[in-house]
Amino acid sequence: MNRKRVVIAGLGDAGVLAAIRLSGYADVVGISVKPALVSGQELGVRLSRPDDWARDYWIPFDRFRRLDRVRTVQAQLTGVDLAARTVLGKRADGAALAEEYDALIISTGVSNGFWRRPTLQSAADVGAELRAAHDRLAAAGSVIVVGGGAAAVSSALNMATTWPQKRVDLYFPGPRALAEYDPRSWDRIHRRLTGLGVGIHPGHRAVLPDGFAGDEITSEPVRWSTGQPPAGADAVLWAIGRVRPNTDWLPPELLDERGFVRVTPELRVPGYRGVFAVGDVAATDPLRSSARNRGDALVARNVRAELGGGRLGAYRAPTRRWGSLVGIQPDGLEVFLPTGHAFRFPTWSVERVVMPWIVRWGMYRGVRENNPLG
């Protein structure tokens, strides 16, 4: 009996985990613009401590033991023929790509700032981009972070921790940051930020310069539509949540009004048998929370059920974001619950239990040792 073929379009966090879960069941083909998992998580650690970030969030595909059975292809997706069940693209060397599928998982994610873009890159390109952003911020005597989400808050806290002599200011439009989290989460992080000397400036809505998409570090003064005088710093980090789904390659009938992939509670694209979506690209709920909360496990299980005639399960989205907000710190890893309460893994447990056993073996089913930055 011929094995089924599953094509996974996008090998970010959700796509890699889905590929790992399906690798023993079907012939899996993973298509990615990067030659590795280059996670969009933990922006603050990425900017302030790039070596630490690369160790945990930039992992070449050949380091994942369970991806040994997955054929990974570096290519830019250009389209899909839904009738012929074929994904189309252009390989890194310019050659055309056409991959037939029995099931397709769309997990191409979103673009959000310079750290999450769907561009073809080599490992050298990824490393150069990583270093350039770090060096720019390291050289700045003062930094403004614009934004009220987790990426902005994490960036401000991590920079203040790594460079205690640097002036760091956080500006956001609402009365508090982390509006998608329980208020207790912000209260706790607010105390840490003020303890580090970070300036907290609520009620500031930034005016973007003409033609600027908010996807690079700038140095011009920031102006506010809320009436405050302009603010200046040596470097301005824009973490304003201008999320754009990476769906230019998909036909409009698969997308909602914002360009995200429409899905049923089973993460299936309505009207197209065998087509699923998961992660930030999937319009599951306002928080698009299948990027977390084990959405990868459900989509893998439902693909198997659909191809094998089984019963599909439904995704249940949480009402608030939760998880790590600022990444691994010198005193350990703090994880926030949906209620806003937090618990901390001490440093020794992060190094000896959480990362090697829970993450590398439990989640990824084995990762060979490697650090792309050497």
Confidence of residue 288 (pLDDT cuts 50, 70, 90): confident
Please answer whether residues 4 and 103 qualify as being in contact, where contact means their C-beta atoms are separated by less than 8 angstroms: yes
Share of the chain above pLDDT 70, in %: 98
**Tokens representing residue 328 in the block:** 């691994």
Mean pLDDT of 263-274: 96
Q: Which domains does the chain have, with CATH numbers?
A: 5-122+244-324 (3.50.50.60), 126-238 (3.50.50.60)
pLDDT at residue 22, rounded to an integer: 97
Question: Residue 61 has what DSSP assignment?
Answer: G
pLDDT at residue 370, rounded to an integer: 67
How far apart, in Å, are the Cα atoms of 31 and each of 82, 118, 124, 255, 276? 17, 12, 19, 20, 15
Confidence of residue 373 (pLDDT cuts 50, 70, 90): low
Q: How far is CA 290 from the centre of its chain?
A: 12
What's the mean per-residue pLDDT of the chain?
94
Please answer whether residues 26 and 4 qualify as being in contact, where contact means their C-beta atoms are separated by less than 8 angstroms: yes
Q: Which amino acid is at 161?
A: T
Closest listed residue to residue 293, CA positions, set 310, 278, 303:
278
Q: b vs e for 234-261, b when ≥16 Cβ sit within 10 Å of the residue's Cβ?
A: bbbbbbbeebbbbbebbeeebbeeebbb
Question: Residue 212 has what DSSP assignment?
Answer: -
Q: Could you give the CA distance from residue 235 to residue 298 in angstroms, rounded to a whole number?
A: 42
pLDDT at residue 183, rounded to an integer: 93
Residue 6: how many other CB atoms lie within 10 Å: 27
Rg for the chain, CA atoms, rounded:
21
The DSSP string of 153-173 is HHHHHHHHHH-TTSEEEEE-S
Q: How far is CA 178 from the centre of its chain?
A: 17
Whether the per-residue pLDDT at 91 is higher than 60: the answer is yes
pLDDT at residue 277, rounded to an integer: 97
Q: Could you give the CA distance from residue 127 to residue 36 in angstroms, rounded to a whole number?
A: 12
pLDDT at residue 149, rounded to an integer: 94
Q: Could you give the CA distance from residue 127 to residue 261 in angstroms, rounded to a whole number?
A: 31
Residue 38: how many other CB atoms lie within 10 Å: 25
User: Which residues contact residue 95 at a Cβ distance below 8 angstroms, ignoring those fewer than 6 apart?
Assistant: none
Do the bridges between strand 167-171 and strand 142-146 make them parallel or antiparallel, or are there none, so unpaired? Answer: parallel
The residues that bridge with 7 in the sheet, in sequence order, are 29, 104
pTM, two decimal places: 0.93
pLDDT at residue 369, rounded to an integer: 82
Whether the per-residue pLDDT at 169 is higher than 90: the answer is yes
pLDDT at residue 218, rounded to an integer: 95
Q: Specify the higher pLDDT residue, 210 or 110.
A: 110
Whether the per-residue pLDDT at 18 is higher than 90: the answer is yes
